Amino acid sequence: MSFALGPMAIAAGHSLVAYDTVGSTNTEALALVREGRGPVWVAARAQTEGRGRRGREWSTERGNLAASFGLAIEATPAVAATLGFAAGLALESALRLTAPSLQARTSRPELKWPNDIVVDGAKLAGILLEADAVSEGRLAVVVGLGVNVASAPEGLPYPATSLAARGDRVTAEELFASLADALVGWLEVWNEGRGLPAVRKAWMARAAGLGAQVEVDMGDRRIRGRFESIDESGRLVIRAPTGVATAIAAGDVYFGAAATHAAQG
């Protein structure tokens, strides 16, 4: 089976470039958007030079899904960054549609700020958004999505799972077609950032750890408190035991035992 767009993505004018193996789907998608090819998907069965947040290396083993969606928009980098929330909602929807184990109310995928999807506390997927100026006021924006379909990486400082480990027989190609269609709807809602309030409301309804105690690693410092919300700009809002609320634009969030591990690491 090969990668293919769903009917909604085709009708929306999206295109697809598919690989068996590629260095980085984000790199390929950015190059295509700079050439004027967007909106475009790049999908691959394996990825050898993928990137995670903060420049971390991230490879995609064969059988998992590596896909990036790119387009050019007129927006500030801050507004462009909110596309990640719409992409997370699209992926959450596609996972529920294609994976039977995620359709039970007790095991539905949750969105973990800023860029992960977790199930029963274990990471199932990650999202990385990158942007580059193509002209004054116009950005090439790419959102990369990696899903543990056939296997999950080992040796991580947090739990991880895969669809196969949960008993789901969905393939990367089947999930991709559903994802491509789901993103069409959420792109319309997002509307180049103008629809962020509606996206934020939907995201909050699926948020992992809302109301829980968290630890946020910001690189140069760590903050602990209760996950209260995400604000109108998409920043994480946590409230310290002192009652002081802090809005955080970027960081790694840890819950429960993982928060303790982060504090000690």
Q: Is the pLDDT of residue 128 over 50?
A: yes
213-264 shares the fold of 7-205 = no
What pLDDT digit, counting tens, does each position of 214-264 carry?
A: 888 877 788 899 999 999 888 999 998 888 998 988 888 887 644 444 444
The fold of 7-205 is BirA Bifunctional Protein; domain 2 (3.30.930)
The domain ranges of the chain are 7-205, 213-264
| Three-point CA angle 167, 172, 173, nearest 5° | 130
Q: Is the pLDDT of residue 31 over 80?
A: yes
Judge if pTM exceeds 0.95: no
What pLDDT digit, counting tens, does each position of 143-159 carry?
A: 999 999 999 988 777 88
Sequence-distant (6+) residues with CB within 8 A of 5 are 14, 15, 16, 41, 177, 180, 181
Phi, psi of 148 (to 5 degrees): -80, 90
What pLDDT digit, counting tens, does each position of 65-77 carry?
A: 999 999 999 989 8
Query: Distance (Å, rounded) from C-alpha 197 to C-alpha 201?
Result: 6
The CATH code of the domain at 213-264 is 2.30.30.100
Q: Is the pLDDT of residue 62 over 70?
A: yes
